[in-house]
Structure 1
Amino acid sequence: MGLLAAYAVPHPPLIVPAVGGGQEAEVADTTAAYEEVARRIADHAPDLIVVVSPHAPLYRDGFFIADAETEEGSLAAFGQPEARITTRTDTAFTQAVADRLSRRSIPVAGAPAHHEEIDHATYVPLHFIGQTVDLSQVAVVRIGLSALSPSDHQFLGLSITRAAEDLGRRAVLIASGDLSHRLKEDGPYGFNEAGPAFDRAVTDLFAAGSLRGLFGLDPILCEDAAECGLRAFQIMAGALEGLPFTPELLSYEGPFGVGYAVAAFEVECSPSSTEEEVEAELMEADEAPVRGAHARGACSAVDPLVALARASVESIVGTGQVLPLPADLPDELTGQRAGVFVSLHEADGLRGCIGTIAPTRSCVAEEVIMNAVAAATDDPRFTPVTPDELDALSYSVDVLGEPEPVESLEQLDPRRYGVIVTRGFKRGLLLPDLEGVETAFDQIAIAKMKAGIAPDEDAQLERFEVVRHTLGGQARVY
């Protein structure tokens, strides 16, 4: 038992004949693909359908997961209040997912009072599924997106699959999301060349089953494309992580200036397999990333700064001793001075990050050692790293360039430059190229918050470039 299949689908209300009034004929391929998805879901005979929706309640620092016993929704907002659907929620599953997210300190909440009805991005796929599946006999759990990182969305997906396995649910996941809204001049947001480029990139990934590529798309491309479903698809990618599956792009259309893709990802577990065989297959799939991590570590070179950071953490956590400065380090580590930040991650979530804006030690190597110790033992946001976590940690080391003053936001680029804000004795720094930091305004606001500078207070600005070292820093196990 567990995840049987996942499907990426769009959610244009006009595809429902009661709303479309004939316009649905212009997306006939999408309709046919939707009907194929509905037939496949019926063949799977699920007892749980999980719908990830961009139009469910969205929270900045956590996820919405439906917790009401039942939910109702209609297309009243699109002139069809009589078109209604009622679903029942699997509250045990909801709680199991929430419990898993709590391990990463990710909060979960139900719907606020003003947003209790099923949204249209959930309604549309249920409209088609309801043609082949008796929804009164199947639980439906509605899940929203958040402003958290892509890795947190991936972790939510993994939590969905693990919760279904633990509870013995036969689950199907629906990732509801449109692609670009900028395919045509007369579309919702006009035309931008990023629109077709984004849609090609996503549909190529769907067709190849290369879902990890959804986490490497250019953020500027995604923003310019005015996409809708990427985070829903990232949750789906997390749900399928480690499972053998067969991908298939069933359709793609964009006649109204919005990209509609339907894709199927069928988990490769034969219905004739015994329960023990299925469990063995899933266990093998779960272990595959671990074997891959070991293989990459054995075959890839390791950046000396990353190796030094790992050795420093493992020394202080494993023995309680600060690592002595090794004798065989390259000159670039012992003959130069610079500010350094050491970041530790666990399961793609931050586990510690400490650094120095300017050099405080005799060389970069000593800076790395002491900041690695502090990241593992003295980051006030986290408890100290324990020995049983060491194999699960991944590492990155940022070496800071010389800061230079800037006069305006136009001189900042949050992907290229870090920023330093100073007001009197208060000073805050934010590294470049961080998930969720898209604008210079956001970058400055966060740096001010870290420094204890009020948002409306003036501050001196400096920018700096960073050389980020990650080679060989992946976790030994996942």
Structure 2
Amino acid sequence: MERLAERLAALKLDTVVIFSPHGPVFQDGLAIRGGTRLKGDLARFGYFRKWEWEVDQELAAAISREIKKEKIPCLQLTAEDLAGYGLGAELDHGVLVPLSFLADDSVKLVATGMTLLPWLEQYQLGVAIGRAVHKSPRRIGVIASGDLSHCLKPGAPAPYDPRGKEFDETLMALLQAKNRAAIFDLDPVLVEKAAECGFRTLLMLLGVFDGWQAEIEVLSYEGPFGVGYGVVSFAPRGEDESKSSLLTVLRHRREEALRNRRAAESPFVRVARQTVENYLLGTETAIVPGDLPPEAQEPAGAFVSIKKHGQLRGCIGTVFPTQPTFLEEIRHNAISAALHDPRFEPVQAEELPDLVYSVDRILPPRAGGGAG
């Protein structure tokens, strides 16, 4: 951290942008701390120094505009917003700990949380932030705060899991190899098992460098308390002459995966999808009964689930049949799942390409035999 601080000091930064996993975190959009000044302390950790920074309001507004161009919600939190969401105005330790090493109060600050959006959208956030940063005449440093695995050994903050070490070693090796694309090939289960808190902010930082050559240097890694701490330096080396964009590659991957999934979908899943698409688009894709298994014409309960980027988007089911046939049960429940699940806003037509469906057939219960 001292070596990194020396490098940042030599750059004579005007502004620091920092992403914190312990800041305001929303499911579907990014929160930026608003106001004119931000302050905080680490008293609850026994360190009683206080910090305060002026907010770079111009850059914060530019970042918000660029994020909204990507159709991702972005909120600059006011005092009223903080009170309404039950959030504190003080900066969190995810901001204060790295800045205690890396930035004094002479710089301006833009502090954000992160989101729980899928990895691609998390990266897309970083791309939008990168556009604002690269357009600015200011000298700007960007910091992704967060720790790696919290389960490296017994007694760590999270229950010990050997996959924590596997995650940390794999991620640090990929960064050492400057293999940004392969980070998106990590097994989501491995990431989850690692009980980390810095992966999503790292994805945002990688997005800032989309389309740019970057010198990536791993400065240190350690895990003395069962939590992995990695310090990595990213230095821009000019725009990529090939004009390649990892964001474009990732989008193509997602589109291909969706095409493959739909090519392999079962007849009943196809019925659910086509029913919702026909309803929202005002089309009428023919569903030929002869293409369906015989049980399509028998009465049965049905659960139709809809997911978007791995997150539930709607689910409605019937244990007992309410329609003459299983086919009609699917159609009825598919519309209900898309439009009438009270936990979600109705599905919109522009979401259709990203939706994945599943259908479960519910057979009538059978009476069990008693003991003789």
Give TM-score scaled by structure 2 length: 0.69
Residues 344 and 267 of structure 1: is their aligned pair in 2 closer, same or farther, counting only changes over 3 Å? farther
Aligned: 1:258 with 2:230: no
Shift of 1:315: 2.2
Contact 2:34 2:76 survives alignment (8 Å): no
Picking from 348, 354, 357, the partner of 1:385 is 348
Residues 88 and 320 of structure 1: is their aligned pair in 2 closer, same or farther, counting only changes over 3 Å? same
SS in structure 2 opposite 1:65? strand
What's the C-alpha RMSD, in Å, of the aligned pairs?
Answer: 4.6
Residues 297 and 393 of structure 1: is their aligned pair in 2 closer, same or farther, counting only changes over 3 Å? closer
Between the aligned partners of 1:160 and 1:139, the Cα distance in structure 2 is 19
SS in structure 2 opposite 1:310? helix
Shift of 1:161: 3.3
Residues 240 and 198 of structure 1: is their aligned pair in 2 closer, same or farther, counting only changes over 3 Å? same
Deviation track 1:359-417 (CA, whole Å, cap 9, x = no partner) reads 4445554444333344445556435633xx1664322214255699xxxxxxxxxxxxx
Residues 257 and 377 of structure 1: is their aligned pair in 2 closer, same or farther, counting only changes over 3 Å? closer
Match of 2:273 in 1: 310
Q: Matched residue pairs, number?
A: 349
Match of 2:144 in 1: 175
Aligned: 1:35 with 2:7: no
Shift of 1:216: 0.7
Between the aligned partners of 1:396 and 1:164, the Cα distance in structure 2 is 34
Match of 2:287 in 1: 325
SS in structure 2 opposite 1:217? helix
Residues 261 and 219 of structure 1: is their aligned pair in 2 closer, same or farther, counting only changes over 3 Å? closer
Between the aligned partners of 1:403 and 1:46, the Cα distance in structure 2 is 68
Match of 2:92 in 1: 119
Picking from 339, 342, 345, the partner of 2:302 is 339
Contact 1:354 1:372 survives alignment (8 Å): yes
Residues 289 and 188 of structure 1: is their aligned pair in 2 closer, same or farther, counting only changes over 3 Å? closer
Match of 1:49 in 2: 16
Deviation track 1:57-101 (CA, whole Å, cap 9, x = no partner) reads 56789765211212234455555545x543222224434555647
Match of 1:161 in 2: 127
State the AA in 1 paired with 2:128.
R
Between the aligned partners of 1:191 and 1:391, the Cα distance in structure 2 is 40
Between the aligned partners of 2:321 and 2:220, the Cα distance in structure 1 is 55
Deviation track 1:33-71 (CA, whole Å, cap 9, x = no partner) reads x6247627955x765432122343567897652112122
Between the aligned partners of 2:20 and 2:127, the Cα distance in structure 1 is 17
State the AA in 2 paired with 1:281.
K
SS in structure 2 opposite 1:255? coil
Picking from 323, 332, 338, the partner of 1:370 is 332
Contact 1:177 1:232 survives alignment (8 Å): yes
Shift of 1:341: 1.1
Contact 2:156 2:226 survives alignment (8 Å): yes
Picking from 396, 407, 425, the partner of 2:357 is 396
Unaligned runs of 5+ in 1: 1-30, 405-478
State the AA in 1 paired with 2:97.
V
SS in structure 2 opposite 1:258? coil
Aligned: 1:140 with 2:109: yes
SS in structure 1 opposite 2:276? helix
Residues 140 and 105 of structure 1: is their aligned pair in 2 closer, same or farther, counting only changes over 3 Å? closer
Residues 75 and 377 of structure 1: is their aligned pair in 2 closer, same or farther, counting only changes over 3 Å? closer
Between the aligned partners of 2:47 and 2:148, the Cα distance in structure 1 is 25
Contact 1:70 1:89 survives alignment (8 Å): yes
Between the aligned partners of 2:266 and 2:98, the Cα distance in structure 1 is 51
Between the aligned partners of 1:89 and 1:65, the Cα distance in structure 2 is 11
Shift of 1:201: 4.7
Percent of aligned positions that are identical? 27
Unaligned runs of 5+ in 2: 366-372
Picking from 4, 19, 32, the partner of 1:65 is 32
Contact 1:154 1:239 survives alignment (8 Å): no
State the AA in 2 paired with 1:393.
D
Residues 231 and 196 of structure 1: is their aligned pair in 2 closer, same or farther, counting only changes over 3 Å? same
Deviation track 1:302-353 (CA, whole Å, cap 9, x = no partner) reads 31344433333332233354x54324525277377451214153x7776554
Contact 1:157 1:238 survives alignment (8 Å): yes
Deviation track 1:271-306 (CA, whole Å, cap 9, x = no partner) reads xx8xxx7xx937x55443444445445666431344
Give TM-score scaled by structure 1 length: 0.56
Contact 1:338 1:363 survives alignment (8 Å): no
Match of 1:474 in 2: none
SS in structure 2 opposite 1:54? coil
State the AA in 2 paired with 1:165.
R
Match of 1:199 in 2: 168
State the AA in 2 paired with 1:196.
K
Counterparts of 1:280-295 in structure 2 under 5 Å?
281=243, 285-295=246-256
Contact 1:52 1:232 survives alignment (8 Å): yes
Shift of 1:242: 7.9
Between the aligned partners of 1:60 and 1:288, the Cα distance in structure 2 is 24
